[in-house]
Structure 1
Amino acid sequence: MTTVQRRIANPLARRVPGQVLLETTGRKSGLPRRTPVGGRRVGEVFWLVSEFGEKSQYVRNIKADPRVRVRIRGKWYAGTAYLMPEDDARARLRALPRFNSAAVRAFGDALLTVRVELDRG
């Protein structure tokens, strides 16, 4: 599943204008890495759930450098990401967009909540 996402689904989803993107800095390359994600903005916080937890490349990148950007409705927002293993990721999914949440629940094996505090301004 990871190979399918990395090689086929993610490159296609990155091109969809309304798709939310999470941009991290590659921990090895130092280059920007953009990953399509499902989540929801609540005030100045963007919530998402990683379906593969700490095995996800973007989660590994966040651990190395928590400064991220999130593209929501075509606009980029800078922020700081926090991994929240203590959060109930399954409960969190119930508050996020249904389509993505269903896929995360179906294919995920190590759910992990990610909270991005968006910079003001």
Structure 2
Amino acid sequence: MADSLRDRVTKFFQKNIANQVMRRMPFQTLLETTGRTSGQPRVTPLGGKRIGDEFWFVSEFGDRSQYVRNIMADPAVRVRINGRWHRGTAHLLPDDDAHARMRTLPQFNNLGVRAFGTNLLTVRVDLLD
């Protein structure tokens, strides 16, 4: 399915402006995946919540998100939480109620997902360290 104009504008803004700024913030939560074509690390700022040895978040574009596509190819990821990197394994949970899940996550982080999300997908990362 083709992306809407709103999706394309949102992705452009996130990739070229917001993500560039957010990556530099020392305590911004970051997700590092391995590029499915390049094999290079790809870092994406995001919001979510650590619950025990799991980190939960909701992707606003689901399987149209580049980092979700990277997870589909290789679920080994790293997550930076409060300035510290953790290795983990990501699991895509299409049967999880993403709207209900967002009610359990920090509300500020969900603003963009709520405003621009068109294909919500819950992701759980099982943290290894």
TM-score when normalising by structure 1: 0.97
User: Could you say which residue in structure 2 is the equivalent of 1:5?
Assistant: 14
> How many angstroms does 1:18 deviate by?
1.1
Superposition CA RMSD, Å:
0.6
Cα distance, 1:102 vs. partner? 2.1
**What is the 5 A alignment of 1:1-121?**
1-120=10-129
Distance 1:9 1:29 in 2: 23
For structure 2, which runs of at least 5 residues remain unmatched after alignment? Answer: 1-9
Q: Percent identity?
A: 63
Structure 2 Cα separation of the partners of residues 62 and 34 of structure 1 = 12
Query: Runs (4+) of structure 1 moved beyond 4 Å?
Result: none
- Counterparts of 2:46 and 2:12 in 1: how far apart (Å)? 16
| Structure 1: gaps spanning 5 or more residues | none
| CA distance in 2: counterparts of 1:27 and 1:68, whole angstroms | 12
> Which deviations, in whole Å up to 9, do the C-alpha atoms of 1:49-95 show, x marking residues without a partner?
00000000000000000000000011000000000000000000011
